[in-house]
Homo-oligomer: A and B are copies of this chain.
């Protein structure tokens, strides 16, 4: 086997960083070369993440782009937005291939980015990254050096609806998306809202009304798929679980087709996709069936009362919604088998 790819994880103190480490530590083509965290520099990974004790001797370092460029060939950046753009610009300049897990390079239009996030820290790179959803952009990813890994909600919404938008079977305006996410999506944010006793036994919608930052990202990709303007109504909810997103989309058909045809289109589209599993008729995606894995389970059902198409998906927000998808992108970018390091079965129960 060839030399392993030397990989850096930049910004690894949160849950996404930890998940990247979990996956990369078992990846047969990768050698973890550097792991950074400003707050934890100098401490060992096993000390900060007791789950990793015994699995690696690595220590966190501070971010030093020049040192990273010497130590690694490929960087995953899992930093807050704006900070990320800043660091990514330096890493790209230093010659590293980058898979960025922040939101900084997902939106292609600078006006849209500014509207949602404020001034961009590296505007010259806007539009330079490939949108890292392999099932939609595989060809571009194969020759990419720079990838913007999609948000967790967009991944869950786009995968089941993509075939129908692309074929023009449903309207892109409006789409109604109701998503339910585990708490790890909020990262390790220290806020009263995320305390155990605040979230246990509960569920609630948040950022209702089109104000969640994943809205423009979903809309951008819907427009690419449909070749038409998108109007998306997206309501995220918080579930009392750590991981996983279940998504339900209501879409208006634009033509006549049978229920079987709808299922066939979904099945055809994903026939050769390892990570998208189209469920048999009657089954619905369950978070438990994908937990800890890079799978996204999808299903389609026609509503008897309204005729709308109901698209369903379940994925693990930290894997197919973040770290796993980033590794899938890396595999494509480097010509590795696409499933390398990602064949783990879901953790059930």
- Chain A residues with CB under 8 Å of chain B are 15, 18, 21-22, 25-26, 47, 49-55, 173-174, 176, 178, 180, 182-184, 188, 190-192, 194-206, 208-211, 215, 219, 231-235, 237, 239-244, 246, 248, 250, 274, 277, 279-280, 283-293, 295, 297, 299, 301-306, 308, 310, 312, 314, 343-349
Contacts of A248 in B (CB 8 A): 178, 205, 235, 237
18 contacts between A and B (CB under 8 A): A21-B345, A22-B347, A51-B288, A183-B197, A188-B197, A194-B197, A198-B288, A204-B286, A210-B303, A210-B305, A219-B305, A231-B305, A233-B250, A234-B305, A235-B250, A237-B246, A239-B240, A243-B349
- Number of this chain's copies in the complex: 4
CB pair B184–A188 under 8 Å, yes or no, is no
CB pair A346–B243 under 8 Å, yes or no, is no
Rounded to whole angstroms, the CA-CA distance of A340 and B305 in the bound complex is: 39
Rounded to whole angstroms, the CA-CA distance of A235 and B302 in the bound complex is: 11
Q: Which of B25, B183, B277, B303 contacts A53 (CB 8 A)?
A: B277
CB pair B201–A232 under 8 Å, yes or no, is no
User: A194-B195, A235-B248, A343-B26 are contacts. A284–B204 as well, Cβ < 8 Å?
Assistant: yes
